[in-house]
Amino acid sequence: MQTSTRDTLRLSLLVALSVTVGALTIAATAGQRGRQVNPADDPFVGVTTDGTPVAGLFPIRASGVSTAPVREAADRFLASLTAEQRARTTFAADSDEWRLWNNVHRYNRAGVSFKEMTEAQRERGFDLMRAGLSARGFRQSRDVMRLNGYLAELVSRPEEYGEFVYHLTVMGTPSATEPWGWQLDGHHLIINYFVLGDQVVMTPTFMGSEPVTATTGPYAGASVLQTEEAAGLAFMQSLTADQRRQATINPSKTANNAQAQAFRDNLQVAYEGLRANTLSAGQREKLLAVVQSFVGHMDDGHARVRMDEIRRHLDDTWFAWVGQSGPDDVFYYRVHSPVVLIEFDHQTPVALGGPRVPGKAHIHSVVRTPNGNDYGKDLLRQHNTRR
């Protein structure tokens, strides 16, 4: 099993990254300015409220949902690769390669790309995605990829964008008992899929696009994140005037607000906004519908397991909003509990240009598991302790 031999080169890469954290904006442009990305200098802790993870949230236990389909799909995908491709696609289960994803387009990625795959290999790669995702999750992932192809046509930059400029890596050896997983890494689409027995952790997951809908050409009809946008707005509009005031942490949406994107594994973010223990039964269901719109990207069985986990912590779940809540308004929202962090953000334009104000044509979303279980890290720690 190959370890991350490319890390020395990739860790010194100047990363194109734009993250707004409150009043602080960390901006970097590839080849111009930035910071080195080195997990060894920033040991994994996980997303927390204060730097200290809450213990005991993620026990190793049977989920009752088989992971055999995704394991078998991974085996078939790996078998389809050449020896050279496998050598740069496979990493140890505990490799720092997990943490080196990036949602920007200019980035040196690991693994084998769909662009270089043969048709047969590409289908095996898609089969791996299908096995781990729900039908809606797979469709939305493919539409993100298609919209990246649409963007390449709109801006005439096929060297930077494209439908198949997405890379797959496999961490560990697919197994019924030992930890392993896979990662999809590309512009506006990152899926980290950790497996231990029949347990799955599918975070961090990043989905976004610019634009969010294709109206012409071979990609016409591709559209993403409309369900997530509508669910968040519907919940906000279901609140009373006083509840909306509590939920709103800033009534003015003038910049990018997403915090938990690339290289923010150890983000500290406080609970803010409106706490779910004050909601009516109907409002609680609408909030769960927001969460389901993201969690539902997982295969149906593991999504049910994940939603049960989130429901157990619903009273300790907070909802925060930036912006106004009219039908045409742009906004940011965050759902935050001990076991889930979800962000949805209308972003300023990048590739398409225009005024540097947030708009509905560019969306970022990210889902994380706080308190140390992104990439299944807490499950892996417990597994290794038992050995």
pLDDT digits (tens, 9 = 90+) for 274-317: 999 999 999 999 999 999 999 999 999 999 999 999 999 999 99
Distance between the two ends of the chain, CA-based, in angstroms? Answer: 20
329, pLDDT greater than 80: yes
Closest residue by Cα to residue 93 from 223, 3, 162, 208: 3
Closest residue by Cα to residue 147 from 216, 68, 44, 249: 216
Which range, of 10-19, 133-142, 311-320, 354-363, averages the lowest pLDDT?
10-19
The amino acid present at 196, given as its one-letter code, is L
Helix, strand, coil % in the chain, rounded to nearest 5: 35, 20, 45
For residue 38, the model assigns a pLDDT of 75
For residues 362 and 350, the answer to whether their CB atoms sit within 8 Å is: yes
* pLDDT classification of 387: cutoffs 50, 70, 90: confident
Q: How far is CA 131 from CA 70, 230, 384, in A?
A: 5, 27, 26
180, pLDDT greater than 60: yes
Residue 98, both tokens: 């997990």
For residues 201 and 369, the answer to whether their CB atoms sit within 8 Å is: yes
Closest residue by Cα to residue 373 from 290, 309, 289, 277: 309
| pTM higher than 0.75 | yes
* pLDDT classification of 2: cutoffs 50, 70, 90: very low
- Which of left, alpha, beta for 35 (phi over 0: left; psi -120 to 50: alpha)? beta
For residue 199, the model assigns a pLDDT of 98
Average pLDDT over residues 193-202: 98
If 0-12 CB within 10 Å is exposed, 13-18 middle and 19+ buried, where does residue 304 land? middle
For residue 17, the model assigns a pLDDT of 35
Q: What is the mean pLDDT of the chain?
A: 91
15, pLDDT greater than 90: no
For residue 229, the model assigns a pLDDT of 98
Closest residue by Cα to residue 113 from 145, 79, 151: 145
Closest residue by Cα to residue 261 from 253, 250, 269, 271: 269
* pLDDT classification of 26: cutoffs 50, 70, 90: very low
Which range, of 20-24, 212-216, 349-353, averages the lowest pLDDT?
20-24
DSSP state, 370?
T
Q: Between the CA atoms of 141, 185, 92 and 51, what dihedral angle is there, to the nearest 10 degrees?
A: -100
User: pLDDT digit string (tens) for 30-64?
Assistant: 332 233 467 768 999 999 999 999 999 999 999 99
* pLDDT classification of 85: cutoffs 50, 70, 90: very high
For residue 6, the model assigns a pLDDT of 43
333, pLDDT greater than 80: yes
Closest residue by Cα to residue 284 from 331, 333, 243: 243
> Any idea which residue has 């560019």 for tokens?
362
The amino acid present at 86, given as its one-letter code, is R
Q: 83-120: b or e for each residue (b if 16 or more CB lie within 10 Å)? A: eebbebbbbbbbbbbbbbbbbbbebebbbbbbeebeee
Q: Which residue has the higher pLDDT, 15 or 280?
A: 280
For residue 41, the model assigns a pLDDT of 83
For residue 37, the model assigns a pLDDT of 64
For residues 28 and 21, the answer to whether their CB atoms sit within 8 Å is: no
**Share of residues in the chain with pLDDT > 70 (%):** 90
27, pLDDT greater than 80: no
Phi then psi for 47, rounded to 5 degrees? -70, 130
Q: How far is CA 197 from CA 127, 214, 253, 373, in A?
A: 20, 39, 43, 16
> Any idea which residue has 């995605």 for tokens?
129
Average pLDDT over residues 84-102: 97
Q: 240-269: b or e for each residue (b if 16 or more CB lie within 10 Å)? A: eeebbebbbeeeebebbbbbbbbbbbbbeb
Rg, the chain, Cα only: 20
Q: ∠ CA(21), CA(292), CA(171), 5° rounding?
A: 70
